[in-house]
Each structure stands twice: as C-alpha cells, then as structure tokens.
Structure 1
C-alpha cells in the first residue's frame, strides 16, 4: 500500500509531499519533496491508495451563506447572540469544533486566517483531480482525506508544539527521535536528514501516517448529523488508535 502525505501551503515553496510504502509490517519513506508544485501534488495523490492533505478542503457552510447574504443586501444576526458567539460558526467548520472538543487544539480558521490562501489552492487541486476522473469526497471517503498533523501527534502521545520554523530545529530533532522510537517499523531512509531539517517534510510524513490510519478505518468519521457539513466543509480524520496499530 502506498500512502501520501501533503503539507499544503499557498505556493510550491513550503509545500511538502511524502510517499510511504507499506509492506511486511513496515513503512518506508520512498520519496519526500519540500518544493511541490500543483502537478507534483496531483501526481502524488493519484498514485496513492490514500492521500492525507493537511489543509481545509472547504469553508464553513454558514460563512458561505453569510457572504452570499451580505452581497445580496444585509446579513441577519441571530437573536440573543453577539460578538464572538455568533461569529464562531462563521470562523470554524463543524469539523474544527469537533477537533477542539476532542483534542483541545483549534485548527486555523479557513475563513478568518491566512490558511484561506492555501485552501484556495487546494480548491483548484480538487477541481483538477475531478477533471481527471478522481472527484474528492470531502468527508474522507475515497482516495483523499483531510488531516491535521498536530492533532495526530498529540493523540499519539508525541510532541506536537514548538517544532516549527528554523529557530526550533532542536525540537524538530526531538520530535523525529520520538517518532522513530514509537514507530520502530518506520524507515525514513535517506530522507531522515530532510525530516530533521524541515518541519514541512515531517508534517508530510505525519500526514501520510494519518492517511494510513484512514485507509485502515482507524479514524473518526462524521456521524449522521455531521455528514452534511462534512460533505461541503471537509472533515478532519483523527486517529482513534495508537500509532503502533498502523503497521498492521
């Protein structure tokens, strides 16, 4: 089984892709790229059994309705709500709120933060996949699933904060050490040095691990009430078992 992880940024720079080959109870990192353009991302996703993309796959439904209403005239503020309370559903998707309840981590707001730029790029990538005959189910069924590396790391008992950017290479090094200790079946091969130098590459590897969890059915899925929003907003698949279960 080949799983792919994509740490998607708004541009090719800072976009990383990792390819994990799973066989005989082991996972081997067979390729890793840290400057990935659209063509490379599409090529990687279409080659994988499952691809985990670290980027929102959609915007909050209520935000879309809000913008549409504002363009047509005036928005209506719900009675009894003000300030942050009524803006919460505009800023956070259903899945973002579920992640916060389960992990204590709040994903970046796709409608109120810079992650929106990456999501615009993601929307174009999803359109290209559909054009090639591989439409994406934003709820996680099919070949693509939305993932959140920080939440995965926290749920697996690994360091999940403080390893980003060049100033924190010591923490990134510590994270890679812990990851390899907890997953002795994971072989980073010649790309280990890259993972220790680039948090984007490491996040792509974690995204590929999360894709494996999704392929095995070891992640959260939307319930009946959440299925509707997940189909349009996207759904972050959180691992439901320890990291060791992924080796199979």
Structure 2
C-alpha cells in the first residue's frame, strides 16, 4: 500500500507532501517534499491508495446558509440578541465539534480563522482531482480523507503542543524522537532531518500515517443519520487504535 500525506497551505511554498510505502513489517518514507505545486499534488494523490489532507474539505452548512441569506437580504436571527452558541454554529462543523469532544482540543474554524484561505486552495484541489478522475468523497470513503495531525498525535499518545514554527525546532525534534520510539517500524530514511526542522514536513508524515489508519478502518465513524451533513462539510479521520495497529 502507498499512502500520501499533505500538509496543505494556501500556496506551494509551505505545502509539504509525504509518501509512505507499506510492507508487512512497517513503513518507509519514500519521498518527503516541500514547496509542492498543484500538479505534483494531483499526480501523487492520484497514484496513492489513500491520501490524507491536513485541511478542512468543506465549510459549516449553517455558515453557507447564513451567507446565502445575508446576501439575499433574508437573514432571520434566532432572537433579539445573538449568542455565542449561535456564532459557534456558524464557525464550526459537525466534525470539529466531534473531535473537540473526543480529545478535548480545539479545532480551527474554517469560516472564521485564517485556515479559510487554505480551504479555498483545498476546494480548488478537489475540483482538479475530480477533473483528473479522482473525485473526493468528503466523508473519507474515497481516495482522499481529511486529517488533523494534532488530533492523530493526541490519540497516539504523542504530545502535540508547541512544535509549530521555526522558533520551536527543539520541541519538534523531541516530538520526532517520540514518534521514532513509538513506531520503530517507521523508517524515516533520509528525511529525519527534514522532519526535525520543518513542522510542515512532519505534519505531512503524520497525515500519511493517518491516511493508513483511515484505509484500514481504524478511525472514528460518524453517525449515519448525519451522513448528508458530513458529505458536505467533511469528516476528520480520528484514529481509534495505537500506531502499532497500522503495521497489519
């Protein structure tokens, strides 16, 4: 099996891509690229068994309805005063709330945080994949699944705090060491240095590991009664088993 992980950014300069090759005994990083353009992303994802993208695949359905109503001048408020709960309903998707409840960790809002710019790029990427014959099922059932590396690390018992940006390379190095100890069967090959110096590269590897979990069915399921909503908003693949379960 070949899994791909994408740490997506609004532009290619901070976009990273990892390719893992799986055998009966573990996995090896086949390639780890930074500064990845759309053409490379499409080709690599198309040639993978499963790809994990670290970016929301959709927007909150309530937010979409809110914007449409506002544009049409037909917005109906829930009462005389709007509440935090009302605003949160516009800011967070069903999967965001689910993950927060499961791991006690917040998720960025695709409708009100800067990650929205990256989500625009992700929407374009989904359209390009569809044109290439690889349409994206936002529930994760197809060739692409949405991932959240911090949540995966949390589920695997690895502390995902304070490793972002170049100011925190020491913490990132410790996290890489923790990953190596927790998954000795993962061969970083010649890319360990890249993981230790770039959180984008490291997150791409975690995204590829999470894609493997999703491919094996080792992630949280959504309530079937919410399938229509998830198909529009997207669903984060949250691992349910330890890293070692990925070796099967």
User: TM class, shorter-chain normalised?
Assistant: over 0.9
**Matched residue of 1:62: which SS?**
helix
Conserved 8 A contact 1:15-1:34:
yes
SS of residue matched to 1:44: helix
Instruction: Tell me the residue number matched to 2:58.
Output: 58
Moved over 4 A (4+): none
**Counterpart for residue 167 of structure 2:** 167
Are 1:101 and 2:88 matched, yes or no? no
**Paired residue for 1:36?**
36
- Secondary structure in 2 matching 1:4: strand
Residues 116-151 of structure 1 show CA distances to partners (whole Å, capped at 9, x for unaligned) of 100000001100111111111000001100000000
CA distance in 2, matches of 1:48, 1:221: 22
Q: Secondary structure at the match of 2:63?
A: helix
Once the two structures are TM-superposed, the CA of residue 226 in structure 1 deviates from its matched residue by 2.2
What is the TM-score normalised by the length of structure 2? Answer: 0.98
Segments of structure 2 that go 5 or more residues without pairing to the other structure are none
Using the alignment, how far apart are the partners of 1:140 and 1:100 within structure 2? 19
Q: Which residue of 1 aligns with 2:201?
A: 201
Alpha-carbon offset, residue 80 of structure 1:
7.9
Q: How much is the aligned-residue C-alpha RMSD, in angstroms?
A: 1.0
Instruction: Please list, as runs of the form range in 1=range in 2, the aligned pairs for 1:126-137 lying within 5 A after superposition.
Output: 126-137=126-137
Instruction: Please say if 1:230 is aligned against 2:227.
Output: no
- Inter-CA distance 71–80: structure 2 relative to 1 (3 Å threshold): closer
Tell me the CA shift for residue 221 of structure 1: 2.0
Report the counterpart of residue 176 of structure 2 in structure 1.
176
Tell me whether 1:68 sits opposite 2:68 in the alignment: yes
Question: Structure 1: how far apart are the matches of 2:81 and 2:50?
Answer: 41
How many residue pairs get aligned? The number is: 248
Q: Which runs of 5+ in 1 are unaligned?
A: none
